[in-house]
Amino acid sequence: MPPSDAPVVEEIAVADKDAGPYGIAAGPDGALWLTLVHSGRIARLTPDGGLREHSLDAPDCRPTVITPGPDGALWFTRSGDHRIGRITTLGETEAFALPTPDSGPFGITAGPDGAVWFTQMNTDRVGRITGDGDITEFVLPVEGAMPSAITSGPDGALWFTLHRANAIGRITTDGDTVIHPLPTPDAGPVGITSDGTDLWFVEIAAGRIGRISTDGVIGEFPLPDRTARPHAVVAVSTGDCWFTEWGANRIGRITASGEITEYDLPTPSSEPHGITLGPDGALWAALETGGVARVAPKSEGR
């Protein structure tokens, strides 16, 4: 993308710097939903700036990653008290304790089977929860792997990153698992997304963006700044993905050919984490220092 076509990046304050916006998702109600990881709250933000917060039942529950569920509610992981949370668009909340103690839930996504799937960082498990709160856990065939982000793939399976095992995992809705090691040692994969054809992921420790086909073929694309620490990634369309650079204070874009473009955020050291495509067609990223970033085409004229 030529510099003249660079998007407009703006920031919106949503909380104090200690609240920690971390995860972000577009809800079915036309709003953005944010996890305030350090204050135990969920925030709802409309594209025009309307903000409402919902306190959870435990201030130290650490709501982390959030996703729209198949039931019209938002589901999120609570890594502080090892629960899965659910909030309706009206702000009604509930939480479900996990069977395995101290499991550290992190990534979460709606599955192809009408359930919600999540990772358990501390116990090498992937979990499944129904709308009624019934939970099934699947033990992974690796130890100390730290399963992190998870997404539904184009093949009807769930795909997830194994941060410490340096691999990408695939699990079917029946629990059959395949592990794909990464070519780069100690790459530290975190975020993952599907563009409808392939899976794209970020390597926070290696400063690369990765792509894996459903048959396990892996490609890696180095960032210009290998210390940028990419964190989360979202697909806008096939071969068009956007990601956050937590260490470099940027939002990046990668195309199917591996072309990478990066855009600086206005506020230094704003700690961008989660990223999503908003209901207004812009990219929205959660900034842990108290705001969100909105990235939109220059021609929009907002």
Q: Is 203 annotated as a binding residue?
A: no
- Euclidean distance between CA atoms 99 and 130, whole angstroms: 14
Q: Is 288 annotated as a binding residue?
A: yes
Residue 54: active-site member? no
Q: Is 231 annotated as a binding residue?
A: yes
Q: Single out the catalytic residue among 38, 82, 163, 273.
A: 273
Annotated binding site for Mg(2+): 271, 288
Annotated binding site for substrate: 231
Annotated binding site: 231, 271, 288
Hey, which residues are catalytic here?
A: 273
